[in-house]
Amino acid sequence: MKLLHNSNKAVYERACHVLTGGVSRNTIFRKPHPFYVATSKGSYITDIEGVERIDFANNMASLIHGHSHPAITEAVIDQIKRGTAFTMGTEAEVRFAELMIERSGTFERMRFVNSGTEAVMTMLKTSRVYTKKPKIAKAEGAYHGTYDYAEISQTSNPDNWGSIDKPNTNRVVDGTPQGVLDDVVVYPFNDIERTLNILDEHADDIACVLIDPVPHRIGLFPATEEFIQAIYTWTRKHNALMVFDEVVTYRVNYGGKQDSFSVKPDLTAMGKMIGGGFPIGALAGRSDIMEVLDPRGRILRHPHSGTFSANPVSTTAGRVAMELFDKEAVLTLNALTKTAVDQIEEAMAIADVPLSVTGAGSMFRIHLQPDKPKSYREAYHTKEKKELINELLDYMFLEENIIMINTGACMFATSLTQKEVDRLSEGLLKGFQLIKPKLDRLQINTAEGYF
């Protein structure tokens, strides 16, 4: 392909004069500069210098059908011609809500918002209103967006995370008020005994226990059935809610990861893929809880609005995307992802590297350790691990022309085929062989207690 007039470096130099750090979201930043998209189609992205790459990140799990899907594109263009935002309702949001409630047995009522962060925020505020209690409990290391309360402990590290019996509540952003820290209870994911002991200490004040059922930042391994059952039982006993963040994990099964469990959440926050490539978030759950948002009530307990909430472009794109992601599509994509994991594990064996893979459904994460982690602390990336995973990912991006998420994770889309999976596993084999000497030294030093 003929090179375009711009270079990635030149655009970044311009960006640094108008955008803080040259970016609007830190996710895309990389040294010496970010790369900029010219076009995309399916699972391929071409940057402004004409380099084509296979996309296994899919905008951080938000593109379940890859880029520029024709059915979504056609529906969106049709809606844009009729308008994009109104101080009136549209049938688009009603049609989408009907589809999602039919799809998920735990959804009785819904509200659409603009992002996963906003969905989680609204879910936590709704839980406080309903229970009349102030505190929320969340897992150490879990990412739930950028709401003050939801992000506590997200970046905890060995210097500040404290005892596993009572993990510290650590701020992510400097200046976060102490009052926020005081109203967040941190528990160790999947550790039933320790979690229940911690929750018991705050039983009178906890409005909800927030759970990502396959938390990416913790290590991308699922919550156990026993853990979910224990949390559910505890919340029934103490007038609290069990709420799920399925912003990423709704892709795992036809009705979300919650389909895997015998007990179900009271409320669920969603986002990412349910927007069909456009900004969206949603809150769904029990009608008696969702009633606190109802403007028809005698007292408006939770005033809730939003200029672009339920905008018809996002709800149209989302509805079409979810119609396409039917039961057969879910099973097919999950099977392709399992094939990819099998091939990657084979590549690890051939390269003789002490690595492991965790995941669920159509997503997985590579760990620089031989045993699959079972906790945030086991999966934690030390400085040395971060440097090594970055070296692997830079090799994949620059030499193999393959895009992965910066933790070493992949989020699959239905536009991927066996051809792209083969490219991924072949590229990773070369990448594993490249980092093997440093990885072996890292394992020796870790075993000897140097890190």
CB of 273 closer than 8 Å to CB of 50: no
From the candidates 125, 133, 138, 272, which is the catalytic residue? Answer: 272
Active-site residue 78, yes or no?
no
Q: Which two tokens stand for residue 4?
A: 């375009």
CB within 8 Å of 195: residues ≥ 6 apart: 187, 188, 227, 230, 231
User: In angstroms, what CA-CA distances link 20 with 13, 253, 424?
Assistant: 12, 39, 34
Residue tagged active-site, from 183, 245, 266, 385 = 245
Q: Catalytic residue at 143?
A: yes
3-state SS record for the chain: CCCCCCCHHHHHHHHCCCCHHHCCCHHHCCCCCCCCEEEEEECEEEECCCCEEEECCHHHHCCCCCECCHHHHHHHHHHHHHCCCCCCCCHHHHHHHHHHHHHCCCCCEEEEECCHHHHHHHHHHHHHHHHCCCEEEEECCCCCCCCHHHHCCCCCCCCCCCCCCCCCCCCCCCCCCHHHHHCEEEECCCCHHHHHHHHHHCCCCEEEEEECCCCCCCCCCCCCHHHHHHHHHHHHHCCCEEEEECCCHHHCCCCCHHHHCCCCCCEEEEEHHHHCCCCCEEEEECHHHHHHHCCCCCCCCCCCCCCCCCCHHHHHHHHHHHHHCCHHHHHHHHHHHHHHHHHHHHHHHHHCCCCEEEEECCEEEEECCCCCCCCHHHHCCCHHHHHHHHHHHHHHHHCCCEECECCCEEECCCCCCHHHHHHHHHHHHHHHHHHHHHHHHHHHHHHCCCC
- Tell which residue, 418, 415, 340, 348, has the closest CA to residue 55: 415
Residue type for position 321: A
Catalytic residue among 143, 187, 250, 376: 143
Beta carbons of 445 and 451 less than 8 angstroms apart:
yes
End-to-end CA distance of the chain: give it in Å, rounded: 46
- Reference 243, options 256, 141, 161; nearest CA is 256
Catalytic residues, which ones?
A: 143, 245, 272
